A and B are shown apart, each in its own frame.
Chain A
Amino acid sequence: MKEIMAIVRMKKTGATKKALVAAGVAGFTAIKVAGRGKLVTDPQELEKCKEKLLAMGMDEFSDAKDTENLVTSFLDGTRFFPRRLFTILAHDDDVPRIVEAITNANRTDYGIGDGVIFVLPVNDALRVRTGEAGEAAIW
């Protein structure tokens, strides 16, 4: 038995749910979390993000300097962004399939911030309704 923890973009919640159903795993628990990743130090990657954000943030009312300050502080890497944490219980054999499904549903062109998946061992599970334990309790 394994527990799969997947932290994904809020916008990808629907896509992840669909992918899980397609992979034959309907059951999951999801909560709202805030997360940040590894510090991005690649200047090229950062410059790309900065340009995109600056283009998005400017209009005739905003001050160029303010906007730039905002974007710079936004990209300093220590800020937390909203994410969705999926917890899925799975049989050992299904883990690669589920990981694959979540990865495919969540990959974007941004190159950063698509989330992470962790696989943890689980000692025992119990279904409250029937009292089944172990592998039988998963699905």
Chain B
Amino acid sequence: MLLIRAIVRPERKDEVLAQLSEAGFNAATMVDVVGRGKQKGIKIGGMVYDEIPKILILMVIPDGEKEKVIRLIMDTARTGKEGTFGDGKIFVSPVEEAYTISKNSPGL
């Protein structure tokens, strides 16, 4: 199993989550976060904003679905034709075990 951490624009989150649900990946957790990228934030006039609000989406998926989920998030979260700075990032980490509490059994 793999943990997908996707940081996306708040205005794209509904679209991303709707697309994921449609593709059969309904289970997800989201957190409001702030962050900056290697552009060191945004400079507007004399003011530097380096805590830009984003949405962090967490989801655990079977190993085989990785490509599909990443492609889907990438295509939905990107803005403009070529993508724009601030569209976000996706990180993938391994998950060794998963338990569903209500089913009282291992597995997703």
* Residue ranges of A at the interface with B (Cβ–Cβ < 8 Å): 2, 5, 7-8, 31-39, 77-78, 80, 83, 85, 95, 99, 102-103, 106-108, 110-121
Q: CB distance B3 to A118 under 8 Å?
A: yes
**Number of residue pairs spanning A and B whose beta carbons lie under 8 angstroms apart:** 87
Please classify how large the interface on chain B is, using the bins under 10, 10 to 19, 20 to 34, 35 or more.
20 to 34
List 7 additional contacts besides A2-B96, A34-B31; criterion CB under 8 Å.
Answer: A36-B29, A77-B26, A107-B101, A116-B98, A117-B98, A117-B101, A121-B96
Partner pick for B101 among A32, A34, A78, A116, CB 8 A cutoff: A116
B39 adjacent to chain A (CB < 8 Å): no
Contact between chains at A108 and B26 (CB < 8 Å): no
A38 x B27 contact (CB < 8 A) = yes
> With a CB–CB cut-off of 8 A, which chain A residues contact B21?
39, 77-78
Q: Is B28 an interface residue (CB 8 A)?
A: yes
22 A-B pairs in the complex with CB atoms less than 8 angstroms apart: A2-B96, A31-B31, A32-B31, A33-B30, A34-B31, A35-B28, A36-B29, A38-B27, A38-B108, A39-B21, A77-B26, A78-B26, A85-B31, A99-B99, A102-B101, A108-B102, A116-B98, A116-B100, A118-B1, A119-B98, A120-B93, A120-B96
